[in-house]
């Protein structure tokens, strides 16, 4: 559902942040609160301005995007973090979700894709692009064969078959309606599964961060 969203851009490259600012101006329901050029400034501005969403680059100076995300999510859990990065390694993606991010998109994303992702995470959904989903699948295959993944309760971590099916269908470029039809489910049921997937990504990322095995 469309809603007004106040947001902050955390990006150290002026040409990227200004380009993103200009491209998102076409959406009347978005309100830009400011631009942060490093991670420490992003945390400071997020905690003082309290935006709905922070669009977060990973390669920030002074404090990288993952550390900045962790600080913001710890201090203000209501603020949603949408990571936008050219770093697409699976371990980077997992780490972002492990410290509290709600979505991950690439810097090549269109303004419409970014806007849709912002709306999705404001609705409590997971927001990932097709290529990011593909990286998640490939990264998971590598991890499960090479790393011991144990949760805080001592149980082994694993994605459910439904979660992996959803990631695979996202990687194929399908939207919520098409994925729901493929799985024979309602869109509302699919969204519930995606919320569980978001939690699972967070759990996996937390394990890797705790092991020092992310990024």
Architecture in CATH for domain 5-128: 3-Layer(aba) Sandwich (3.40)
CATH 3.40.50.2300 in the chain, residue ranges: 5-128
DSSP designation for 150: B
CATH of 132-211, one of 1.20.950.20, 1.10.10.10, 1.20.1740.10, 1.20.120.1200: 1.10.10.10
Q: How far apart are CA 16 and CA 193, in angstroms?
A: 34
Distances (CA, A) of 30 to 13, 79, 154, 201: 21, 15, 43, 27
The ranges of the chain annotated as CATH 1.10.10.10 are 132-211
| Cα distances (Å, whole numbers) of residue 43 to 98, 139, 205 | 18, 29, 21
Q: In what order do the strands lie in the sheet with 30-36?
A: 30-36, 5-10, 53-56, 80-85, 103-106, 127-128
- What lies within 8 Å, CB to CB, of 113 at 6+ separation is 105, 129
Give the single-character DSSP code of 189: H
* Among 46, 37, 35, 34, residue whose Cα is nearest residue 70: 46
At 141-170, the pLDDT tens digits run 988 877 778 777 778 888 999 999 999 999
Query: pLDDT (tens digit, 9 = 90+) per residue, 75-109?
Result: 999 999 999 988 778 889 999 999 999 999 999 89
- What's the pLDDT score for residue 215? 40
pLDDT tens by residue, 192-206? 999 999 999 999 998
* Cα 93–Cα 99–Cα 104 angle in degrees, nearest 5: 35
Determine the 3-state secondary structure of 26 from DSSP. Answer: coil
69 SS3 class:
helix
């Amino acid at each position: 559902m469309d809603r007004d969203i106040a947001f902050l851009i955390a990006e150290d490259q002026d040409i990227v942040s200004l380009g993103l600012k200009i491209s998102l101006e076409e959406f009347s329901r978005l309100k830009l609160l400011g631009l942060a050029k490093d991670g420490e400034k992003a945390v400071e501005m997020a905690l003082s301005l309290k935006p709905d969403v922070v669009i977060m680059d990973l390669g920030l100076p002074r404090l990288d995007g993952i550390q900045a995300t962790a600080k913001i999510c710890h201090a203000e859990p209501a603020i949603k973090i949408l990571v936008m990065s050219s770093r697409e390694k699976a371990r980077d993606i997992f780490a972002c979700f492990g410290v509290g991010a709600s979505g991950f998109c690439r810097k090549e994303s269109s303004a419409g894709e970014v806007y849709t992702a912002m709306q999705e995470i404001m609705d409590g959904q997971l927001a990932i692009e097709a290529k990011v989903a593909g990286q998640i699948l490939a990264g998971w295959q590598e991890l499960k064969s090479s790393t011991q993944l144990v949760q805080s309760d001592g149980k082994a971590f694993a994605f459910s078959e439904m979660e992996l099916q959803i990631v695979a269908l996202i990687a194929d470029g399908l939207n919520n309606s098409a994925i729901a039809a493929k799985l024979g489910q309602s869109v509302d049921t699919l969204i519930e599964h995606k919320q569980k997937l978001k939690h699972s990504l967070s759990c996996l990322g937390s394990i890797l961060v705790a092991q020092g095995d992310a990024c």
